[in-house]
Amino acid sequence: MGERLEPEQVFMAIRAEVRRLLGRRDIGGPLEDAERAQLAPALRALAEAYSVERAGADALAFSDPRRRAAYLAYYGVRSFLVTRLLAERYRLDGSSVLELGAGPGTAGLGLVARGGGWTAVDVEPLLLELATALGRRLDVAPRVIAAQASARSWGGQTPTAVLLAYTINEWPGDLAERAELLGHAVEHLTPGGLLIAIEPAVRAVSRRLSALRDRLIAGGSGVVGPCTHQRPCPMLERRRDFCHGRHRVVAPPDFVLLGQQAGRFDLEDADFSTLVCGRDATPRLPGWRAVGDVRREKGRDRLFLCGAAGLVEVYALTGRKRVGREALRDLRRGDVLAPDLDLANAPVRIEQPEPLRPVGWLP
Ligand SMILES: C[S@@+](CC[C@H](N)C(=O)[O-])C[C@H]1O[C@@H](n2cnc3c(N)ncnc32)[C@H](O)[C@@H]1O
């Protein structure tokens, strides 16, 4: 399967590219005060662009090298860390990666194995230049294709992994077109290969990813995670629900400081929506998955679990001497509980005295 890149080497390559874009000499160490001061306003501007209507925003934003540098040093670092987390959790095979909407390619760097093949497709040539420059520094230069993600743009490949990080929500076309394209990608994976989609944890975007999941399953793909079942997503039943993960990642202090300087953005507080699927694939961990955080209320802890029977609310009374007081205490978003937990007639009061022990965790 091949070894993945060392994070510290990736961070060094990112810093070198950031300095090149800022027109500064590569001095090797962490980004310095003066460099972060140059990047912070550009990062603020990018974050503002991301919080409003996206259409057409990118081409405009990325023509400015300082914005490309700011993207790389913040969002690029986050993409790397989140992809790497998934690569490790799902033991993804990075020996032949097809990345759609690759941008500067740092997500791909979290997945591709040393000596592996990597094709990066994106509509933005200026970002693909960065992917190439980073890849060269790390001896994994991608083959780049400057085009819209479409079956034609990458035709003929049979990758071990197809990666789509924070890009699907920017694509033109409706759900049916996206499902057709992703379904096509799944069909062309090598046996055992997986498609990994990561999207921002924004209600409308996450719900579209859940709807895409349902379409892919209907079209014959199998979901490996984070779902523990292949039934229609129960999160789509109520308009207010959406499925997303949240995890504290560890980033080098200079990138963390940049986020704080730009506007108290917490780089290490990563939230995301994910989907991992493949041909003839089945859920990695069948069972009940915590799809929220434990809510501590007066006298009770509450949690929503998702499983083949739907979304189930469970609670444990936490008052003095209550049986079940410890049951939900240690659970976190993404924990998976064994499928044999009896959860008929929701909401279900958990009466077991010891903490419930997860059988795994899927971000
Ligand atoms: C938010 S960036 C994410 C980039 C990168 N994957 C990451 O995680 O940092 C979205 C990327 O999607 C690309 N993009 C948008 N629409 C696209 C399309 N139809 N086909 C291919 N790439 C697209 C943009 O150019 C941009 O690089």
The protein residue with its alpha carbon nearest to ligand 1, atom 15, reads 170
Q: What is the pLDDT of residues 288-303, one digit of tens each?
A: 999 999 999 988 999 9
- Indicate the average pLDDT of the chain: 93
Q: Which ligand 1 atom is at minimum distance from the Cα of 127?
A: 27
What pTM value is reported for the model?
0.95
Q: What letter represents residue 126's amino acid? A: L
Q: What is the pLDDT of residues 200-213, one digit of tens each?
A: 999 999 999 999 99
Q: Which residues pair with 156 in a beta bridge?
A: none
CB of 257 closer than 8 Å to CB of 74: no
User: Which domains does the chain possess?
Assistant: 7-279 (3.40.50.150), 288-361 (no CATH)
**What's the rounded Cα separation, in Å, for the pair 324 and 320?**
11
Proportion of the chain above pLDDT 70, given as a percent: 97
Q: Which ligand 1 atom is at minimum distance from the Cα of 75?
A: 9
Between the alpha carbon of residue 114 and those of residues 5, 268, 358, the distances in Å are: 6, 26, 33
Tokens 């909401």 locate to 347
Dihedral sign, CA of 91, 268, 256, 263? Answer: positive
**pLDDT bucket at 58, cuts 50 / 70 / 90:** low
Q: What is the pLDDT of residues 101-150, one digit of tens each?
A: 999 999 999 999 999 999 999 999 999 999 999 999 999 999 999 999 99
Pocket test for ligand 1, best of 122, 169, 177 (most atoms within 8 A of CB): 122
**What's the rounded Cα separation, in Å, for the pair 252 and 7?**
10
The protein residue with its alpha carbon nearest to ligand 1, atom 17, reads 171
**What's the rounded Cα separation, in Å, for the pair 93 and 233?**
27
Taking every pair of Cα atoms in the chain, the longest distance, rounded to a whole number of angstroms, is 65
Flag whether pLDDT at 53 surpasses 60: no
**What's the rounded Cα separation, in Å, for the pair 105 and 5?**
13
The protein residue with its alpha carbon nearest to ligand 1, atom 4, reads 103
Q: Which residues line ligand 1 (CB under 6 A)?
A: 58, 75-76, 79, 100-103, 106-107, 121-124, 127, 148-149, 165-167, 170-171
The protein residue with its alpha carbon nearest to ligand 1, atom 9, reads 76
Q: What are phi and psi of 288, to 5 degrees?
A: -115, 120
Between the two ends of the chain, the Cα-to-Cα distance in Å is 22
Mean pLDDT of 337-363: 89
Q: Which ligand 1 atom is at minimum distance from the Cα of 76?
A: 9
CB of 37 closer than 8 Å to CB of 261: yes
